[in-house]
């Protein structure tokens, strides 16, 4: 008779059930609350009516926080959750949340900044550089494709928030739009663009219309906390995932260093496109910025001390060193 095997089913089955539940509620880099859907547009949708609802902020490091104004501070109501992502990370080409989204040092951003300092062209790095996005809580109105319930909208900053910001600057009265009792419905018009085989919507116009019905604070019980939805990896986890991608490239190039144990792959440095570019490109020096320089804003409309090396225009900017140094201080 064989020896009876002991099992630990009580613990293991419960643990597995929790794992399945986490996976079922996961949507890429988002951890969705039970019953909450992601808002998405059917291809070629030209217009949509949305109520953007506020949520109760809990993150003391919210990117939009302004303590003097009381904006996006804990326990206040705010309408968006800015964050950044890195695309095509790891062997599975996943999108991951940049740790700068929670004001932490990000290994991928460190790598990009280091490569820029070494003279690597922006075009060789922009695909892995951080991209700005925002989360919103939206309720579609009179839509044939959506239920009139709260959804989470994950949208590129460039493709929506830029246009919204322009509209609010033109008429500050429209800033009331997310208010529960006095807010407005946004009529958003899109143009569709194509990149390769994929098409995507870009906001071309936003108008603010009177709501058919306003909200009470009871709706906040249905509104998810946008501060808790992002799937944030640790520095170590994100670095390992990024290194996994580089290791795969290293294997293709046979760039492997053998040791007595097992092969270890060195993080590859992206070189400038050719030797001529390397020789002609002026080397940047680390200079101590003057007090006057520190007060300067980005001359190209980006965020000084935050968006260094984010755009090709940064290549020729006279404030690159000062901006880069300020960004490093903020990341520490």
pLDDT digits (tens, 9 = 90+) for 238-249: 999 998 755 555
Banded model confidence at residue 259, pLDDT cuts 50, 70, 90: very low
124/275 Cα distance (integer angstroms): 15
Q: Does residue 321 have a pLDDT over 70?
A: no
What pLDDT score does 18 carry? Answer: 55
Q: What is the pLDDT of residues 61-120, one digit of tens each?
A: 999 999 999 999 999 999 999 999 999 898 888 899 999 999 999 999 999 999 999 999
Give the number of residues written for the chain. 332
Q: What is the pLDDT of residues 130-166, one digit of tens each?
A: 999 999 999 999 999 999 999 999 999 999 999 999 9
Using a pLDDT cut of 90, give the percent of the chain over it: 55
64/27 Cα distance (integer angstroms): 24
289/285 Cα distance (integer angstroms): 11
Q: Does residue 37 have a pLDDT over 80?
A: yes
* Radius of gyration (C-alpha) of the chain in whole angstroms: 24
297/319 Cα distance (integer angstroms): 9
Q: Does residue 325 have a pLDDT over 50?
A: yes
85/321 Cα distance (integer angstroms): 24
Most confident of 7-11, 237-241, 288-292, 301-305: 237-241
What pLDDT score does 291 carry? Answer: 40
Which residue from 138, 135, 234, 249 is spatially nearest to 183, judged by alpha carbons? 138
**Pairing relationship of beta strands 94-97 and 26-27 according to DSSP bridges:** unpaired
Is the pLDDT higher at 266 or at 125?
A: 125
In the chain, domain spans? 26-228, 286-332
Using a pLDDT cut of 70, give the percent of the chain over it: 68
Those residues whose C-beta lies under 8 Å from the C-beta of residue 71, and which sit 6 or more positions away, are 64, 65, 78
Those residues whose C-beta lies under 8 Å from the C-beta of residue 186, and which sit 6 or more positions away, are 49, 50, 51, 52, 177, 206, 207, 208, 209
- According to the CATH classification, is domain 26-228 in 1.10.3720.10? no
Q: What is the pLDDT of residues 161-192, one digit of tens each?
A: 999 999 999 999 999 999 999 999 999 999 99
The structure tokens listed for 60 are 């003391």
311/132 Cα distance (integer angstroms): 12
What pLDDT score does 93 carry? Answer: 85
Indicate the pTM of the whole model.
0.69
Tell the burial category of 328 from Cβ atoms under 10 Å away from its Cβ (0-12, 13-18, 19+): middle
Which residue from 257, 35, 252, 30 is spatially nearest to 155, judged by alpha carbons? 30
CB distance 65 to 73 below 8 Å: yes
Q: Does residue 282 have a pLDDT over 60?
A: no
Q: How many C-beta atoms lie closer than 10 Å to residue 246's C-beta?
A: 16
Interval 1-6 mean pLDDT? 60
- Longest C-alpha distance within the chain, in Å? 86
Tell the burial category of 144 from Cβ atoms under 10 Å away from its Cβ (0-12, 13-18, 19+): exposed
């Amino acid at each position: 008779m064989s020896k009876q095997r002991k099992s630990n089913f009580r613990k293991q089955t419960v643990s597995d059930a929790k794992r399945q539940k986490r996976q079922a509620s996961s949507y890429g880099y988002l951890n969705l609350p039970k019953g909450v859907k992601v808002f998405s547009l059917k291809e070629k949708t030209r217009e949509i009516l949305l109520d953007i609802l506020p949520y109760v902020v809990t993150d003391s490091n919210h990117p939009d926080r302004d303590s003097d104004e009381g904006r996006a501070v804990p326990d206040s109501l705010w309408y968006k959750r800015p964050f950044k992502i890195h695309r095509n990370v790891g062997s599975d080409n996943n999108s991951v949340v940049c740790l700068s989204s929670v004001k932490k040092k990000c290994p991928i951003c460190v790598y990009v900044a280091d490569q820029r300092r070494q003279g690597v062209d922006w075009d060789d790095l922009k695909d892995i550089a951080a991209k700005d996005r925002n989360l919103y809580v939206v309720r579609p109105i009179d839509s044939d494709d959506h239920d009139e319930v709260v959804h989470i909208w994950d949208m590129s900053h460039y493709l929506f928030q830029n246009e919204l910001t322009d509209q609010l600057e033109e008429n500050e009265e429209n800033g009331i739009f997310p208010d529960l009792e006095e807010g407005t419905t946004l009529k958003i018009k899109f143009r569709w663009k194509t990149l390769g085989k994929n098409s995507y919507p870009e906001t071309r116009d936003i108008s603010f219309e009177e709501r058919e019905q306003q909200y009470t604070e009871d709706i906040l019980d249905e509104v998810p906390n946008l501060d808790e939805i992002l799937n944030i990896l640790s520095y170590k986890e994100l670095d390992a995932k990024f290194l996994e991608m580089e290791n795969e490239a290293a294997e293709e190039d046979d760039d492997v260093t053998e040791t007595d144990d097992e092969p270890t792959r060195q993080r590859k440095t992206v070189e400038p496109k050719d030797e001529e570019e390397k020789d002609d490109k002026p080397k940047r020096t680390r200079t101590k910025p003057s007090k006057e320089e520190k007060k300067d804003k980005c001359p190209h409309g980006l965020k000084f001390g935050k968006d260094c090396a984010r755009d090709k225009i940064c290549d020729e900017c006279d404030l690159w060193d000062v901006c880069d140094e300020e960004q490093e201080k903020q990341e520490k």
